[in-house]
Amino acid sequence: MRQTKGNGKLRVGIVVSITADQVDMEVQAFEKPLCVDLDGTLIRTDMLHEAVFMLLRINLLYIFVLPLWLAKGKAHMKAQIAQRVMPNAESLPFNHTLLDWLKDQRDAGRELILATASHHRYAKAVADHLNIFHSVEATNDTVNLSSSAKADRLVARFGPGGFDYAGNSRADFKVWDKANRAIVVGEESDAIRYSKHSHADRLLEQPGKSRLRIWMKAIRVHQWLKNTLLFVPAILDFSTFGTLTAIQLAVAFFAFSFCASGVYLINDLIDIEVDRKHKTKQHRPIAAGKLSVSDAVFAAICLFTSSLFMATSLPLAFTGILVLYFLITSLYSFFLKRLLLIDVLTLAGLFTIRVMAGSAAIGGMVSTWLLAFCVFFFLSLALVKRFVEISGQLTSTGRAGSGRGYQPVDLETLGQAGMTSGFASVVVLALFIDSPLISQNFANPQLIWLVCPLVLYLLMRIWVLARRDEMNDDPVVFLMTDWRSQIMIFAGALVMLGSQFIPPWVGL
pLDDT digits (tens, 9 = 90+) for 192-229: 888 888 777 877 666 556 888 999 999 999 889 889 88
Mean pLDDT for 383-410 is: 68
Contact in structure between 32 and 155 (CB atoms under 8 Å): no
What per-residue confidence (pLDDT) applies to 84? 95
Distances (CA, A) of 337 to 329, 347, 349, 416, 461: 10, 9, 13, 20, 26
Which of 72, 149, 77, 79 minimizes the C-alpha distance to 115?
149
State which amino acid sits at residue 132.
I
Mean pLDDT for 385-392 is: 82
Which of 248, 504, 466 minimizes the C-alpha distance to 357?
248
Neighbours of 383 (CB within 10 A): 28
Residues of the chain within CATH 1.10.357.140 domain(s) are: 211-366
What per-residue confidence (pLDDT) applies to 506? 47
How would you classify the pairing of strands 34-36 and 112-119? parallel
In this model, does residue 505 exceed pLDDT 70? Answer: no
Which of 298, 212, 293, 224 minimizes the C-alpha distance to 258?
224
In this model, does residue 397 exceed pLDDT 50? Answer: no
In this model, does residue 24 exceed pLDDT 70? Answer: no
Distance CA 158, CA 146 (A): 17
In this model, does residue 139 exceed pLDDT 80? Answer: yes
What per-residue confidence (pLDDT) applies to 442? 73
H/E element holding 479?
Answer: helix 475-481
User: Own/partner pairs for 359-362, CB < 8 Å, 24+ apart?
Assistant: 359/233, 360/314, 360/315, 360/317, 360/318, 360/320, 360/321, 361/230, 361/248, 361/249, 361/251, 361/252, 361/314, 361/315, 361/318, 362/233, 362/234, 362/240, 362/245, 362/248, 362/249
What percent of the chain lies above the pLDDT cut of 90?
Answer: 56
In this model, does residue 112 exceed pLDDT 80? Answer: yes
Mean pLDDT for 142-159 is: 94
Neighbours of 390 (CB within 10 A): 21
Mean confidence (pLDDT) of the chain: 85
HSE of 113 in the Cβ direction (CA atoms, 13 Å)? Answer: 18
What per-residue confidence (pLDDT) applies to 404? 62
Q: What one-character DSSP code corresponds to residue 230? A: G
Q: Which of 77-91, 435-449, 475-489 has the largest mean confidence?
A: 77-91
In this model, does residue 12 exceed pLDDT 70? Answer: no
DSSP string, 8-21: TEEEE-------GG
Asked if the 211-366 domain carries CATH number 1.10.357.140, the reply is: yes
How would you classify the pairing of strands 181-185 and 201-203? parallel
Helices first, then strands: H and E counts in the chain: 22, 8
What per-residue confidence (pLDDT) applies to 280? 80
In this model, does residue 4 exceed pLDDT 50? Answer: no
In this model, does residue 402 exceed pLDDT 70? Answer: no
Q: Which CATH number is associated with domain 16-203?
A: 3.40.50.1000
Higher pLDDT, 502 or 222: 222
Residues of the chain within CATH 3.40.50.1000 domain(s) are: 16-203
Which of 202, 231, 241, 219 minimizes the C-alpha distance to 97?
202
What percent of the chain lies above the pLDDT cut of 70?
Answer: 87
pLDDT band at 474 (very low <50, low <70, confident <90, very high): confident
Q: Quote the strand ranges of 16-130, DSSP E.
A: 34-36, 112-119
Neighbours of 17 (CB within 10 A): 8
What per-residue confidence (pLDDT) applies to 241? 65
Distance CA 426, CA 311 (A): 33
What per-residue confidence (pLDDT) applies to 188? 84
- The model's pLDDT over 262-294, given as tens digits with 9 standing for 90+, comes to 999 999 999 998 889 877 888 899 999 999 999
In this model, does residue 20 exceed pLDDT 50? Answer: no
Mean pLDDT for 89-107 is: 92
Which of 348, 351, 375, 359 minimizes the C-alpha distance to 320?
359
Least confident of 205-209, 226-230, 309-313, 318-322: 205-209
Q: What one-character DSSP code corresponds to residue 420? A: H
pLDDT band at 15 (very low <50, low <70, confident <90, very high): very low
Mean pLDDT for 479-483 is: 78
Residue 96, classified by CB atoms within 10 Å of its CB into exposed (0-12), middle (13-18) or buried (19+), is exposed
